[in-house]
Amino acid sequence: MAVDVRIPTIGESITTGTIAKWHQANGASVQQGDTLLTLETDKVSNDLEAESAGVLQILVDEGEEVEIGAVVATIDPTAAGATPAPAKESDESAGSTPEVPPEPASADAEASESSDDSVSVSPTVRKFAQEQGVDLTKVEGTGRKGFITKADVEAALNLAKEGEGTRELTVFKKPVIEPKVSDEEGRFTRKKMSPLRRKIATHLVNAQQSAAILTTFNECDMTAVMSMRKTLQEAFKAKYGIKLGFMSFFIKAAVEALKSVPSVNGRIDGDDMILNHYYDIGVAVGTERGLIVPVIRDCDEKSFAEIEQSIIDYANKARDGKIDFSDLQGGVFTISNGGVYGSMLSTPILNPPQSGILGMHTIQQRPVALNGEVVIRPMMYLALSYDHRIVDGKEAVTFLVRLKECIEVPTRLLVEA
């Protein structure tokens, strides 16, 4: 009996995903635990592994958006050359997936596959066909056992438009024919936005529209931090196996500033103001797919080494596309380091429902006045964007001054002075 490959539940707010890549070819023999596909959602990307050994039959193409619970492939453990996975005593049947609870989408898929018209199609493809005005009973499926793919629907549409169809294509509503987009001889390229990029765009617009965002600036002298980092680097690396970076200093300094100005560690919920008493700091990480903000938990209790290790772990997971949905939830404050890309000054946008975000920038040698003399110092501009509905200007300035004090005299972080 063939085992269905279903899209698993990822998070409460995630209802669809896009098949970014199939790692196995159609008809390939796979083993239990082999990576089948990468699913890209508006928050994270996940790899889906084979629950059983057998021959893979792909039902949904790369780039297609699918609902949670939808069947995207099957694995036939009885096919020649396949080694069936040992059955688990707790499994009710070889085709079940214990980790994935029944979803409404999967129920729709089963209903569509056993409809009166004997049409085998996923809910996403059925919806696409309805939008295009195509009667699926007139479409020949090229998938396993006649399963209709999105490509089959598009092919049927093209045949109908060109008048070359060998069979009647019944249209039950006027099809929407999109105008062809000319690339003007290669002068531009048009491509569909990824789910993550669409989510980022929506998130940023909502942040601008739902909060009274204001940004205040300051600068800090990085001499002491750079000197301490240089002095301790060799011993730190020998003991912990990792380098001591600047981000751990700024995270610790942000914790001290949040303790001094609790309103920045708060948020608005309806008519209520909620003040958080924990310090889970989000660190913005740039990836090829877009910006994500994994959260480092309990930064007030972590050591410098633990914070640095957390940053490295998240960077590796982001690079490999292994960030979990839970890694991105629950932050109270965000730090974004545009300085690694050479940014001199910027106004970061809030990460709702948080009320504050700190922007770090590139370190530059600049002339400054010190004890009545002009000296050259490594300086960094700091930008704090905040929700003015909950944070007053005085509090924002106090926050930045406190953070500046901790960076310019980093020994304060050791005694919390």
CA distance 257 to 398: 8
Q: Are residues 314 and 376 in the same domain?
A: yes
Which of the two residues, 153 and 103, has the higher pLDDT score? 153
Distance of CA 17 to the CA centre of its chain: 12
Q: Are residues 258 and 145 in the same domain?
A: no
Q: Are residues 220 and 317 in the same domain?
A: yes
Q: Could you give the number of structural domains in the chain?
A: 2
- CA nearest 295: which of 307, 282, 310? 282
CA distance 131 to 145: 24
Q: Are residues 154 and 9 in the same domain?
A: yes
CA distance 152 to 61: 11
CA distance 121 to 138: 13
Residue 12: its pLDDT value, please? 58
Whether the link from the prior residue into 77 is cis, omega within 30° of 0, is: no
Q: Are residues 284 and 345 in the same domain?
A: yes
SS3 call for 66 = strand
In a domain, 128, yes or no: yes
By annotation, the residues acting in catalysis are: 388, 392
Residue 258: its pLDDT value, please? 97
Residue 133: its pLDDT value, please? 80
What does the pLDDT look like over 252-279, one tens digit per residue? 999 999 999 999 999 999 999 999 999 9
- CA nearest 264: which of 361, 381, 382, 350? 350
Q: Find the CATH number of the domain harbouring 255.
A: 3.30.559.10
Q: Are residues 143 and 218 in the same domain?
A: no
In a domain, 382, yes or no: yes
pLDDT at 83 > cutoff 70:
no
Query: What would the two tokens of residue 363 be?
Result: 């370190």
HSE toward the beta carbon, residue 91, CA cutoff 13 A: 15
CA distance 406 to 413: 6
SS3 call for 39 = strand
Q: Are residues 156 and 246 in the same domain?
A: no
What does the pLDDT look like over 203-241, one tens digit per residue? 889 888 889 999 999 999 999 999 999 999 999 999 999
Mean pLDDT of 29-51: 82
CA distance 382 to 407: 11
In a domain, 247, yes or no: yes
- What global pTM score does this model have? 0.63
SS3 call for 340 = helix
In a domain, 77, yes or no: yes
Q: To 10 degrees, what angle do helices 104-113 and 123-132 make?
A: 70
Residues 244, 250: contact at Cβ < 8 Å? no
In a domain, 191, yes or no: no
Q: Are residues 111 and 233 in the same domain?
A: no
Q: What separation in angstroms does the CA of 10 have from each of 66, 249, 251?
A: 13, 34, 29
In a domain, 314, yes or no: yes
Which of the two residues, 412 and 158, has the higher pLDDT score? 412
Residue 181: its pLDDT value, please? 52
Residue 145: its pLDDT value, please? 58
DSSP string, 78-138: TSTT--PPPPPTT-SSTT--TTS---HHHHHHHHHHT-TT---B-HHHHHHHHHHT--GGG
Q: Are residues 217 and 333 in the same domain?
A: yes
Query: What would the two tokens of residue 4 be?
Result: 């269905």
Range of the domain at 374: 212-415
Q: Are residues 143 and 222 in the same domain?
A: no
Q: What separation in angstroms does the CA of 331 have from each of 249, 259, 328, 363?
A: 18, 15, 8, 27
In a domain, 107, yes or no: yes
In a domain, 195, yes or no: no
Q: Find the CATH number of the domain harbouring 147.
A: 2.40.50.100
Residue 102: its pLDDT value, please? 42
